[in-house]
């Protein structure tokens, strides 16, 4: 054991799922969150979000409540 302090073990970045049908807003959110060190998943529809969540873990979800084919609240519930 040396007297040099060791950095804490690194952990994988938190994953955030963005569910937003407006392309420009979705891309801005993706860039901002990625720059902050988050792993970002993005979906343009509730259906795509369901597919992503079947195979991926998200620590948080940014959810548009007015999606074209399904309410964001319905996806949440």
Residue spans per domain, the chain: 15-76
Q: Is 63's pLDDT higher than 80? A: yes
Task: Check residue 77 and give its pLDDT.
Answer: 65
Mean pLDDT in residue range 57-76: 87
**Superfamily name and number for 15-76:** Response regulator (3.40.50.2300)
Q: Which residues are CB-neighbours of 20 under 8 A, at least 6 positions away?
A: 26, 29, 42, 43, 44, 62, 64
Residue 15 clears pLDDT 60, i.e. is over it: yes
pTM for this one?
0.81
Mean residue pLDDT of the chain comes to: 89
- As a whole number, mean pLDDT of residues 7-30 equals 91
pLDDT at position 73: 77
DSSP per-residue codes, the chain: --SSPPPPPP-PPPEEEEE-S-HHHHHHHHHHHHHTT-EEEEESSHHHHHHHHHH---SEEEE-SB-SSSBHHHHH-
């Amino acid at each position: 054991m040396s007297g040099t302090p060791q950095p804490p073990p690194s952990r994988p970045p938190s994953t955030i799922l963005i569910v937003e049908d407006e392309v420009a807003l979705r891309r801005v959110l993706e860039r901002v969150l990625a720059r902050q060190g988050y792993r970002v998943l993005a979906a343009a529809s509730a259906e795509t979000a369901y597919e992503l969540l079947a195979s991926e873990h998200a620590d948080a979800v940014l959810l548009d409540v007015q999606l074209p084919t399904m309410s964001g609240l319905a996806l949440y519930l």
